[in-house]
């Protein structure tokens, strides 16, 4: 079966620019794709067209991937870390070269705006730059021993093979967050790309393979497997993969965590968010508007850091509400490759159904729709995946407000006291991103205090969405507790080893224990 490519938006040229000329897409341990399994299809939410048909990874192919990954790891982990950093430096340069084509492909296959697609590739470049520096900073501690003429220190070694399971909303950046640090750490990668945006994965695999080939490195350092949840389940159960990094829904993350924990493996989970911005009376409303607007409608509300709730002080509630409604009326919805548009499609018709159900449930619980609530139809919207960004007046305790809906729905909630607002913000099971807009020092410090936001990310006078490389990314509670990207996130990809060296002629025991015997 041949790949079917609709060329209305120049997809064939994009793929050609990215070095993809195969007729069959599927499993890969290097530069080539192979497959003999069942097929699944990739449709673009931009126009509804079938882009490609993909071979699912078979059990036999999976074993090929794992065996090659294990063999390649023996070679990679013996390469000095700064030399591994050089591989990632070259990957960053390749991504600079391919940024226009890959960013456009991300936009077309996933539906986010072209600027966001290009921004996602820039995230890949940024993490490569960060990881290159990190390759010379895999530091361990030295410790003073209680025993004379003994030295203690710790060092870090590669884990082995790292499994990476990514979601459709960031089809390439999250792979890079993991892969750049993991390869610097000396690990090989087995990547299960999202079945809703697989071509982005194939293009990225091709780019990575170019770098590996140019450095005469073996297949298996970066591999790709395809399919639905079953392939992710296989990875989660596989003892040969000491770490599973999974991005997706809370439901998916709980299943992964249980399976990995059952074999005493490690998991890095980046799951759902139900992110809020607290808006205080002293806030700059123009800044607040822009942050809330992008946070709520950027990527059509399909970021784990998307703004879901706006918790507004009652003294400015009506003013901000009216400003927001006016701003929503100016949003341009349409083809994400047209840079005049602000909002593209959501990923598929299933997501459209979840959007409609969420609005209906909010109304049933007492919410009031202020704007939006509808599917956009007509010429240019044939995919039926374009929806109107929606604002709903609600209460924080509504069940639908407590749940995360991956769609451009923003709930407005009133508060009268800052502690009440923080309690509402924290009063959900997710704990990813949070923000406060205020010009009062006491308010911002209260928000950042131990009694303030319980999220992994807490921002002041910026929105919930748009984390930058350098800071550790991740959240608490049912967001999973994982940390990726910056800071000391590299440690999760390595194993710690404590070393003690005795350079004396005696063998004293720790804690002064005596164990004498005559020989």
What is the per-residue pLDDT for 6? 55
Q: How many residues does the chain have?
A: 519
Return the closest-CA partner of residue 276 out of 255, 262, 292: 292
What is the per-residue pLDDT for 5? 54
| Catalytic one of 22, 270, 404, 478 | 270
Is there a catalytic annotation at residue 22?
no
User: Nearest 5°: phi and psi at 44?
Assistant: -90, 130
Q: Which residues of the chain have pLDDT under 70?
A: 1-6, 22-24
pTM for this predicted structure = 0.95
29: three-class secondary structure by DSSP:
coil
Return the closest-CA partner of residue 379 out of 330, 345, 334: 334
Return the number of other C-beta atoms located less than 10 Å from residue 40's C-beta: 16
Contact assessment for residue 440 and residue 488, using Cβ atoms and an 8 Å cutoff: no
| Catalytic one of 200, 304, 371, 385 | 304
Contact assessment for residue 433 and residue 465, using Cβ atoms and an 8 Å cutoff: yes
- The pLDDT tens digits of the residues spanning 26-61 come to 899 998 888 877 888 889 999 998 888 899 999 999
454: three-class secondary structure by DSSP:
coil
Q: Tokens 């919805």 correspond to what residue?
A: 333
What is the per-residue pLDDT for 1? 32
The CA-CA-CA angle for residues 339, 343, 349, to 5°, reads 125
Return the number of other C-beta atoms located less than 10 Å from residue 400's C-beta: 20
What is the per-residue pLDDT for 433? 98
CA atoms within 13 A on the CB side of 15: 23
Q: How far is CA 492 from CA 187, 243, 244, 262, 421, in A?
A: 11, 8, 10, 19, 34
Is there a catalytic annotation at residue 339?
no
- The pLDDT tens digits of the residues spanning 267-308 come to 999 999 999 999 999 999 999 999 999 999 999 999 999 999
CA atoms within 13 A on the CB side of 96: 11
- The pLDDT tens digits of the residues spanning 412-443 come to 999 999 999 999 999 999 999 999 999 999 99
């Amino acid at each position: 079966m041949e790949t079917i490519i609709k060329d209305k938006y120049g997809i064939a040229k994009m793929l050609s620019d990215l070095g993809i000329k195969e007729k069959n897409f599927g499993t890969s341990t290097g530069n080539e794709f192979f497959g003999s399994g069942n097929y699944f299809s990739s449709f673009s939410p931009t126009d509804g067209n079938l882009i490609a048909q993909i071979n699912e990874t078979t059990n036999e192919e999976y074993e090929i991937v794992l065996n090659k990954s294990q063999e390649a790891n023996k070679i990679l982990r013996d390469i000095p870390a700064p030399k591994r950093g050089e591989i990632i430096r070259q990957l960053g340069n390749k991504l600079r070269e391919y940024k226009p084509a890959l960013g456009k492909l991300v936009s077309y296959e996933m539906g986010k705006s072209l600027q966001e697609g290009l921004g996602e590739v820039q995230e890949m470049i940024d993490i490569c730059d960060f990881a290159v520096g990190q390759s010379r900073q895999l530091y361990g501690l030295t410790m003073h021993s209680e025993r004379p003429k003994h030295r203690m220190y710790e060092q870090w070694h590669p884990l082995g093979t790292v499994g990476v399971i990514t979601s459709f909303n960031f089809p390439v950046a999250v792979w890079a967050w993991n892969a750049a640090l993991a390869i610097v750490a000396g690990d090989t990668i087995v990547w299960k790309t999202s079945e809703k945006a697989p071509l982005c994965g194939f293009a990225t695999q091709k780019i990575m393979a170019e770098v590996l080939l140019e450095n005469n490195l073996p297949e298996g350092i970066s591999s790709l497997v395809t399919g639905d949840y079953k392939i992710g389940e296989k990875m989660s159960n596989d003892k040969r993969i000491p770490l599973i990094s999974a991005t997706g829904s809370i439901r998916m993350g709980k299943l992964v965590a249980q399976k990995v924990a059952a074999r005493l493996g490690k998991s890095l989970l980046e799951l759902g968010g139900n992110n809020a911005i607290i808006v205080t009376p002293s806030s700059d409303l123009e800044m607040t508007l822009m942050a809330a607007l992008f946070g709520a409608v950027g990527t059509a509300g399909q970021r784990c850091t998307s703004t879901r709730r706006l918790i507004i002080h009652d003294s400015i509630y009506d003013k901000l509400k009216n400003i927001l409604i006016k701003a929503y009326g100016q949003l341009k919805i349409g083809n994400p490759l047209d840079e005049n548009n602000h909002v593209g499609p959501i990923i598929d018709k299933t997501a459209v159904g979840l959007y409609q159900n969420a609005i209906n449930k909010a109304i049933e619980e007492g919410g009031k729709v202020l704007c939006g609530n509808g599917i956009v139809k007509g010429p240019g919207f044939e995919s039926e995946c374009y929806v109107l960004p929606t604002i709903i007046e609600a209460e924080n305790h509504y069940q639908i407000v407590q749940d995360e809906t991956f769609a451009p729905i923003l709930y407005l909630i009133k508060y009268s006291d800052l502690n009440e607002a923080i309690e509402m913000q924290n009063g959900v099971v997710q704990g990813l991103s949070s923000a406060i807009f205020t010009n009062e020092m006491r308010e911002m410090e209260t928000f950042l205090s131990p009694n303030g936001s319980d999220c992994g990310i807490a921002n002041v006078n910026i929105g919930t969405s748009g984390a930058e490389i350098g800071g550790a990314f991740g959240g608490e509670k049912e967001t999973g507790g994982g940390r990726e990207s910056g800071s000391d996130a590299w440690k999760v990809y390595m194993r710690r080893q404590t070393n003690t060296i005795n350079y004396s002629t005696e063998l004293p025991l720790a804690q002064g224990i005596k164990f004498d015997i005559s020989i």
